[in-house]
Amino acid sequence: MSDTNIEKKGYAFSKEGMNRLKEMMKDYPSSDALLLPALYIAQEEFGHLDTEALQYVADVLKVPKSKVYGVATYYTMYKTKPTGKHLIQVCTNLSCSLLGADHIVKYLENKLTIKVGETTPDKKFTLITVECLGSCGTAPMMQVNDTYYENLTEKEIDRILEELK
């Protein structure tokens, strides 16, 4: 997390984002509770959470940057590195694995010609594996950004990727 090579981006929440945060302040007896929601807003608006974005959130909430960094890196849904436009998250926990999650991952790797953890050169797709998403009765499944796709087959994946392109 060195700042030296990072071009200063001058992050700031949009007016709407700032209003959302201010609205939420009324919901909690302590503004500390706003850290997770604020990181979500930052991620939505800045794409991912680099050092500068974390510093900005720390400044807005008046909490130490170390705390913001600790929280942002603790939870899996905060992205501290850039990802493609579509973040493909394949569940590989037990129920999905029993029904071929491995095969789904391999099929996606071949189809996108990237490995798990990588992003396609056109920055459209990032492929990662995740733990149980609560879709065990409709396994195998994947989540693309916020959307669940369940009962996956090769044909279904072809269709989904075509739709997302």
Partner 1 sequence: MVALYQGRRRSRAPTWYFNMNNILLKNINKPNSTDIETYLKGGGYKSLEKALKEYTPKDVIDIVQKSGLRGRGGAGFPTGKKWEFAAADKNTPRYLLCNADEGEPGTYKDRPIIEKDPHQLIEGIIISGYAIGAAACYIYIRGEYAYGADVLRRAIAQAYKKGFLGKKILGKKFDFDLYVHKGAGAYVCGEETALIESLEGKRGQSRIKPPFPVNVGVWNKPTVINNVETLANISHIINNGPDWFKTMGPEKCPGPKIYSISGHVNKPGNYELIMGTPLKDLIYKYGGGIRNGRNLKAVIPGGASTPVLKPEQIDVNMDYESVGAVGSMLGSGAVMVMDETVCMVGVARRLLKFFAHESCGKCSPCREGTHWLVQILDRIVSNEGKIEDIDLMLDICDNMRGKTFCPLGDGAINPVLSTIKHFKDEYLIHIEEKRCPVGYRHSEHCL
Binding segment for partner 1 among 3-11, 46-54, 95-103, 116-124 (CB under 8 A)?
Answer: 95-103
Q: H/E element holding 91?
A: strand 86-91
Smallest distance, Å, CB 129 to partner 1? Answer: 10
Beta pairing class for 86-91 and 125-130: parallel
Q: Are 143 and 129 in contact (CB under 8 A)?
A: no
Q: H/E element holding 86?
A: strand 86-91
Smallest distance, Å, CB 6 to partner 1? Answer: 23
Residues 6+ apart with CB under 8 A from 124: 84, 85, 86, 164, 165
Binds partner 1 by CB under 8 A, chosen from 16, 76, 82, 117: 76
Residue 25 in the binding site for partner 1 (CB under 8 A): no
Binds partner 1 by CB under 8 A, chosen from 74, 115, 121, 162: 74
Binding segment for partner 1 among 7-15, 73-81, 111-119, 120-128 (CB under 8 A)?
Answer: 73-81
Q: Measure the CA–CA gap between 32 and 44, rounded to whole angstroms.
A: 20
Q: Are 80 and 48 in contact (CB under 8 A)?
A: yes
DSSP-assigned states of every residue in 100-145:
THHHHHHHHHHHHT--TT-B-TTSSEEEEEES--S-GGG-S-EEET
Residue 138 in the binding site for partner 1 (CB under 8 A): yes
Considering only residues 1-20, where is the footprint of partner 1 by CB under 8 A?
none
Residue 75 has which token pair? 């939870």
Nearer CB in complex with partner 1: 6/64: 64
Smallest distance, Å, CB 11 to partner 1? Answer: 19
Binds partner 1 by CB under 8 A, chosen from 3, 16, 32, 59: 32
In the complex, the residues that contact partner 1 under the rule CB under 8 A are: 27, 29-30, 32-37, 39-40, 67, 70-71, 74-78, 92-95, 97-100, 102-103, 131-139, 143, 146-151, 156
